[in-house]
Amino acid sequence: MPAPHTDPAPRPAADPSAGGPAAPARAAHATGEPATVVPAGRWAVLRDGLRLAVTTLTVVPMRVGIVDRRTAAVAMSVAPVVGIPLGALLAAVFVLLGTAGAPTLLAASVTLGAGTLLTRALHLDGLADTVDALGSYRAGEAGLAVMKKPDIGPFGVATLVLTLLTQTAALTSLAGTAPTAAAATVITAWVTGRLAISWACRRGIPAARPTGLGALVADSVPPLPLAVTTAATAAVSVAAVPARPWQGPLAVLLALTATLLLLRQCRRRFGGITGDILGACLELATTIALITLALR
């Protein structure tokens, strides 16, 4: 995923040597230490972090006052929250088309198409680039160079096709499911995908490059918000399969497990995360969640 489209002239954080509320965050970025949200300017940081999350993870452009490690920590912590309205909108598309008499395959295709448009296909692009880099069997800078190429290789193309086919098949399998359960399934999958990004940006996960989106958000999400959003996602997922209340949380668990395995491989190969790897984690988690919830 490329850098977010923010305010054309965002206000830079204060120089650490000059003090001020933004100084600790800039100092942390310079030294590679985890970001810390200080009391001064807390509400401004929360506001800018939420806006950064929205503009990074959706097609909606929002003006972000300050883009630094503090706002990045908030943005990646609340990433699952962005999945709620996005998932709800796509769930409404899927359910309304089904109610109107559209074939389930058509409803699934339109829903995924809408999801792609609402995210500018950035996550799919990241998935393709990451798979191409992993498939090249190159490590370090050589592998990152493959990931950065503007074209998509055969590994990337095949992965995109298989991913979209799998997601479509999973949604199609919801034919005959109660509208509320179908909607909960879509919301759970899309929130889980964004939760995977929070896990990919948790403390202890380094960036593969010194610049770019990965460098801004890596090693930024503290344990407490990560635990809260994970528990909340698992709780919401129960509504996806009411007859088997354990299946929703299991879908979240399997999706996060797959994410951690992908992160482990990327850290070994490239040294850390990039924006493309975040997109790959999101799509992988969304797909695994859909597959698990489709087994009824």
pTM above 0.75, yes or no: yes
pLDDT over 70 (residue 217): yes
- The pLDDT tens digits of the residues spanning 172-186 come to 999 999 999 999 999
The fraction of the chain above a pLDDT of 70, given in percent, is 86
Q: Residue 29: which pLDDT band, with cuts at 50, 70 and 90?
A: very low
- What kind and span of H or E run contains 25? helix 23-31
The DSSP result for 81-113, as a single string, is HHHHHHHHHHHHHHHHHHHTT--HHHHHHHHHH
Each domain of the chain, given as residue ranges in start order, spans: 16-77, 80-294
* Distance, CA of 135 to CA of 221 (rounded, Å): 29
Q: Buried b / exposed e across 43-76, counting CB within 10 Å, b at 16+?
A: eebbbbbbbbbbbbbbeeebebbbbbbbbbbbbb
pLDDT at 241 over 50: yes
Residue 1 pLDDT class (50, 70, 90 cuts): low
28 neighbors 69 (Cβ within 8 angstroms):
yes
How would residue 296 be classed by pLDDT, with cut points 50, 70 and 90? Answer: confident
Q: What is the pLDDT of residue 9?
A: 39
DSSP-based three-state secondary structure for 207 = strand
| Confidence at 2, pLDDT banded by 50, 70, 90 | low
